Amino acid sequence: MNSTQPNQILIVDDNPTNIKVLFDCLKSAGYRVFIAQSGESALEKLAVITPDLILLDVMMPGIDGFETCQRLKNIPNNQNIPVIFMTALNETEHKVKAFSLGAVDYITKPFQQEEVLARVNVHLQLCNLNQELRSMNEQLEKRVAQRTARLSYTLEQMQVMQLQLIQNEKMSALGNLVAGVAHEINNPISFVAGNIFPAQEYLKDLFKLIALYQQEYPQPSAVIQKTIKSIDLEYIKKDFPELLNSMEIGIERITNISHSLRSFARSDTAKKQLFDIHEGLDSTLLILKHRLKANEDRPEIEVIKNYGELPLIECLPSPINQVFMNILANAIDALEEANRGRSFAEIKAKPNCITVTTNLSQDEQYAIISIKDNGTGMPQHIKKQIFEYLYTTKAAGKGTGLGLAISYKIIVDEHQGKIEVNSQPGAWSEFIITIPVMASKGVS
């Protein structure tokens, strides 16, 4: 209803005298009046106009007022138009029926002009108020729905943030532990490493001295001869230097491990820095070594490294390592899942394998890292969801559904890179990460 335009009223009556009385009265009160002389013609008019109120005669040739009322109320557009029946004074059952069909009121013939106007006014006002109420209700409902949507979004975000915090916390705890261990073993390594060289020199001197003794005293006493024999001096001479050499190699290996651990735990997460991606991959593989090793169910998981030439990459080392960790851990999970029901011999015939390939893009702007496993692979419907927060196909307690969502965030949001997945169900999965060599360049 529009308040700037006069209200429209439709009179439905077959009696010209009635029509005239009502028309004049309503017209002079400022209403815009339409007329229909039968139920049928009223319904036709209602297809074109939507009046604010209908005055409907009960007794008419053709379809009567009741029937007309019923039919017009069946049309959704007309349902809210108030209908006032016009009936003779004594027709009580008509009035009852009229109300039951949805009429809001009735007026009795012969008409009292004041009464007609008063009733029409009241119902138009009521109708107006009703309409306002309805639209306010609608607005309220809309607002409630919007707010509910906002709230549930916020809640979801909070849950995700909480889980992410836990994951970050775990990663940083792991980082601290690893850094701590690396630091602690550094000292003992350095004094063992530092003593091997003098030990080798002392040994040479001692052997020289023995040789000299043997030369100056070619005939030692029986006890000495016996001891030389029992300790197998010749063998010691040959073996001792080798033993020290292998200790030297062992120490070198521990030094490398400690170096890798420190590289994995690089805690400077806030600022991008130049980072050797291969060092990141190697140190992550080292941390996962215990999961790659052979056990009673399967041989060792083979790791094939096809490393290409890569420059140092400007990135956040710790988060990048976290991505490698998440993807490699998933690959191991997928391999273990695929191993289920296969015997040691069967697995050995078609070994578990993870292939890590790195390349520089043709234009040399991006580093491309592919991590592929020959585990379970994944069907299309799973592949579509793996980057969603909390999506996991693993048992409760085993999977959090966060690894790939966080990896996506790190690669795409924090490094303007790309992370893609290819897979053949039952055969293999491959994750391909593309990151810009220089932080200012994003992947388009």
* Footprint on this chain of ligand ADP (rule: CB under 6 A): 326, 330-331, 334, 373, 375-376, 378, 382, 386, 391-394, 399-405, 429
* Least distance to ligand ADP, CB of residue 415, Å: 18
Return the residue matching tokens 């529009």.
2
Name the closest residue to Mg ion (Cβ): 403
User: Residue 319 or residue 403: which is nearer to ligand ADP going by CB?
Assistant: 403
User: Residue 204 or residue 384: which is nearer to ligand ADP going by CB?
Assistant: 384
* Least distance to ligand ADP, CB of residue 351, Å: 16
* Least distance to ligand ADP, CB of residue 324, Å: 12
Of 279, 250, 244, nearest to 265 by C-alpha is: 279
User: Residue 54 or residue 402: which is nearer to ligand ADP going by CB?
Assistant: 402
Name the closest residue to ligand ADP (Cβ): 403
24 touches 35 (CB < 8 A): no
Asked if residue 38 binds Mg ion (CB under 5 A), the reply is: no
* Least distance to ligand ADP, CB of residue 323, Å: 11
Task: Decide which of ligand ADP, Mg ion, none touches 357; Cβ closer than 5 to 8 Å per partner kind.
Answer: none
Task: Decide which of Mg ion, ligand ADP, none touches 288; Cβ closer than 5 to 8 Å per partner kind.
Answer: none
Q: What span, in angstroms and rounded, lies between the C-alpha atoms of 69 and 57?
A: 10
- Reported for 178-186, long-range contacts at CB under 8 A and 24+ positions apart, including other chains, are 178/261, 178/262, 178/264, 178/265, 178/287, 179/261, 179/262, 179/265, 179/267, 181/261, 182/258, 182/259, 182/261, 182/262, 182/265, 183/262, 185/254, 185/258, 186/258
Q: What span, in angstroms and rounded, lies between the C-alpha atoms of 142 and 165?
A: 34
The alpha carbons of the chain give a radius of gyration, in whole angstroms, of 45
* Chain-centre distance for alpha carbon 265: 27
Contact pattern for Mg ion over residues 326 through 345, marking x by CB under 5 A = ----x---------------
DSSP label of 365:
S
Asked if residue 403 binds Mg ion (CB under 5 A), the reply is: yes
What is the CB neighbour count within 10 angstroms for residue 101? 17
Task: Decide which of ligand ADP, Mg ion, none touches 405; Cβ closer than 5 to 8 Å per partner kind.
Answer: ligand ADP
Asked if residue 322 binds Mg ion (CB under 5 A), the reply is: no
User: Residue 125 or residue 162: which is nearer to ligand ADP going by CB?
Assistant: 162
348 touches 356 (CB < 8 A): no
Per CB under 5 A, which region of 10-18, 191-199, 228-236, 398-406 contacts Mg ion?
398-406
DSSP string, 165-187: HHHHHHHHHHHHHHHHHHHHHHH
Asked if residue 68 binds Mg ion (CB under 5 A), the reply is: no
User: Residue 10 or residue 328: which is nearer to Mg ion going by CB?
Assistant: 328
Of 81, 101, 254, nearest to 181 by C-alpha is: 254
* Least distance to ligand ADP, CB of residue 102, Å: 57
Of 374, 367, 348, 377, nearest to 441 by C-alpha is: 367
* Least distance to ligand ADP, CB of residue 278, Å: 21
The helices-and-strands tally (H runs, E runs) of the chain is: 13, 12
* Least distance to ligand ADP, CB of residue 334, Å: 3
327 touches 279 (CB < 8 A): no
* Least distance to ligand ADP, CB of residue 417, Å: 17
Asked if residue 375 binds Mg ion (CB under 5 A), the reply is: no
User: Residue 52 or residue 373: which is nearer to ligand ADP going by CB?
Assistant: 373
Structure tokens at 28: 């002079």
- Buried/exposed code over 288-309 (b: 16+ C-beta within 10 A; e: otherwise): beeebeeeeebeebebeeeeee
Task: Decide which of Mg ion, ligand ADP, none touches 175; Cβ closer than 5 to 8 Å per partner kind.
Answer: none
* Least distance to Mg ion, CB of residue 189, Å: 33
- Residues in touch with Mg ion (CB under 5 A): 330, 403
